[in-house]
């Protein structure tokens, strides 16, 4: 496995799932980090260009050798991905885990943190279930938006502790937004299309900030074709990006050591997951009711477990352009990174669950979807 590191040489724009001219406003924002399919397309294009592929032959299926390597359309060939992740000042940073809440200190003081606890059963649209909540004084605590956490901070959260304030990375430390105004073009006439103005918000990365994508299955090819950095087009408007290949970063945060008193484990998503439509469950789980309280029993990678509660973020929407079919992709709803499940084991030792650290759930795993980390569920975070 190698890490492909993307460096912005200008502003970038990765359009949100709404189309231009949609109801509700004329300005479209940029998704960040970039959608993995956009980066996957850049990887495949870079490999094909370095191998002097005739792209017409590739699209028509008359260049089977390169198709076997990079695939076509939704098929990824030999390529498997993990990520994307952000890299800032020689450290990898990760999505914010949704069981961790933050309250900013008064008068510029240090931030305070609190962890959710699984509380007493409540009546919900799913039945009578346990719901994660804050215990005690909770005023001012919330899940911060557009905020990330460094590797050591995430390791502390997985171990049942709190991160330090300097282990938190805000949006403004990573990039700035720039508003751009454009107008549609008539390509044949080479003139502007009167009245078709649009507005977008690009992102400009700060110094020392990059986007990482771990790429597996083509290590030998990478060594032969990428002996020096390459420049390619990336995202909307074909903005320039530099790409360099490095030995794979250590990647995942370390899994904690389970304690005998732990209630169970917390499974945390590090990348968005493509689960079954309209489902928040991480696999084939069946609802069971005990003493009027619903839980969900199932298995992940052969390890049987029971889900007692979950914290699921706002649906992550991805669309994009299918280069092979030359048409827009259907917009997908994904469970966002940072979402998590509180689980106990069924007929197995708690330590068995830690083998799931670095496993993937759901569909499109070749794109890096559904990467999970395993954390402790301390006994004090369960309210009988």
Give 219's pLDDT tier (boundaries 50, 70, 90): low
Is residue 74 situated within a structural domain? yes
Is residue 239 situated within a structural domain? yes
- Segment 328-349 shows an average pLDDT of 88
Give 62's pLDDT tier (boundaries 50, 70, 90): low
Is residue 294 situated within a structural domain? no
Looking at residue 354, its pLDDT comes to: 93
Calculated CA dihedral for residues 49, 15, 243, 83, nearest 10 degrees? -110
**Contact between 262 and 378 (Cβ < 8 Å):** yes
User: Which residue is listed with tokens 């305070």?
Assistant: 112
Is residue 137 situated within a structural domain? no
Q: pLDDT tens digits for 284-337?
A: 899 999 888 999 999 999 899 999 999 999 888 887 777 666 677 777 888 999
* Max avg pLDDT among 105-119, 241-255, 262-276, 318-332: 262-276
**DSSP symbols for 212-279:** EEEEES-HHHHHHH-SS-EEEEETGGGEEEEEEEEEPP--SPPPPPP-TT--EEEEEESS-BB-STT-
Is residue 216 situated within a structural domain? yes
Domain limits for position 33: 2-91+172-247
pLDDT at 280 over 50: yes
Is residue 224 situated within a structural domain? yes
Please provide the average confidence, as pLDDT, over all residues in the chain.
85
pTM score, two decimals? Answer: 0.88
- Which residue(s) pair with 295 in the sheet? 288
Q: What percent of the chain has pLDDT over 90?
A: 41
Per DSSP (E only), the strands in 61-188 are 80-88, 91-95, 100-103, 112-115, 117-124, 127-133, 147-150, 168-170, 175-186
Count Cβ atoms below 10 Å from residue 98 Cβ, excluding itself: 20
What are the structure tokens assigned to 161, written together?
């502790």
**Contact between 251 and 30 (Cβ < 8 Å):** no
DSSP 301: T
pLDDT at 23 over 50: no
Looking at residue 348, its pLDDT comes to: 80
**Contact between 268 and 380 (Cβ < 8 Å):** no
Buried b (16+ CB within 10 A) or exposed e, 118-134: bbebeeeeeeebbbbee
Q: What's the Rg (C-alpha) of the chain?
A: 22
Domain count, the chain: 1
Is residue 379 situated within a structural domain? no
pLDDT at 246 over 60: yes
* Max avg pLDDT among 73-77, 178-182, 276-280, 338-342: 338-342
Going by their DSSP bridges, the two strands 112-115 and 100-103 should be labelled as: antiparallel
Looking at residue 21, its pLDDT comes to: 58
Looking at residue 1, its pLDDT comes to: 81
**DSSP symbols for 91-109:** EEEEEPPTTEEEEPPGGG-
pLDDT at 49 over 90: no
pLDDT at 150 over 80: yes
Q: pLDDT tens digits for 107-118?
A: 666 788 999 999
Q: What CA–CA distance (Å, rounded) separates 360 from 366?
A: 10
Looking at residue 316, its pLDDT comes to: 83
Looking at residue 276, its pLDDT comes to: 79
């Amino acid at each position: 496995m190698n890490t492909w590191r993307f460096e912005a040489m200008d502003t970038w724009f990765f359009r949100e799932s709404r189309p231009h001219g949609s109801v509700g406003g004329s300005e479209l924002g940029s998704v960040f980090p970039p959608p993995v399919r956009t980066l996957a397309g850049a990887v495949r294009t870079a490999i094909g260009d370095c191998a002097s592929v005739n792209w017409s032959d590739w699209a028509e299926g008359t260049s089977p050798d390169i198709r076997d390597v990079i695939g076509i359309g939704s098929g990824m060939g030999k390529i498997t991905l993990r990520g994307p992740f952000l890299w800032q000042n020689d450290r990898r940073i990760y999505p914010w885990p949704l069981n961790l809440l933050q309250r900013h200190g008064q008068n510029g003081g240090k931030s305070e943190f609190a962890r959710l606890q699984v509380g007493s059963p409540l009546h919900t649209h799913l039945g009578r279930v346990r719901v994660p909540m804050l215990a005690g004084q909770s005023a001012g605590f919330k899940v911060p938006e557009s905020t990330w956490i460094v590797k050591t901070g995430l390791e502390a959260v997985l171990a049942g502790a709190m991160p330090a304030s300097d282990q938190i990375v805000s949006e403004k430390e990573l990039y700035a937004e720039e508003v751009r105004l454009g107008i549609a073009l008539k390509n044949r006439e080479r003139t502007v299309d009167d009245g078709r103005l649009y507005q977008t918000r690009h992102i400009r990365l700060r110094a020392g900030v990059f986007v990482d994508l771990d790429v597996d299955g083509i290590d030998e090819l990478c060594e032969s074709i990428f002996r020096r950095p390459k420049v390619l087009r990336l995202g909307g408007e074909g903005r320039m990006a530099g790409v360099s290949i490095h030995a794979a970063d250590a990647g995942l945060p370390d899994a904690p050591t389970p304690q005998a008193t732990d209630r169970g484990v917390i499974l945390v998503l590090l990348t968005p997951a493509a689960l079954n439509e309209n489902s928040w469950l991480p696999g084939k789980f069946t609802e069971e009711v005990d003493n009027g309280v619903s839980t969900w029993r199932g298995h992940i990678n052969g390890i049987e477990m029971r889900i007692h509660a979950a914290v699921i973020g706002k649906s992550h929407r991805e669309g994009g352009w299918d280069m092979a079919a030359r048409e827009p992709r259907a917009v997908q709803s994904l469970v966002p990174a940072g979402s998590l499940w509180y689980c106990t084991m069924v007929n197995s030792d708690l330590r068995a669950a830690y083998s799931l650290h670095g496993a993937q759930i759901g569909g499109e795993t070749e794109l890096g979807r559904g990467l999970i980390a395993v954390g402790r569920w301390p006994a004090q975070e369960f309210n009988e």
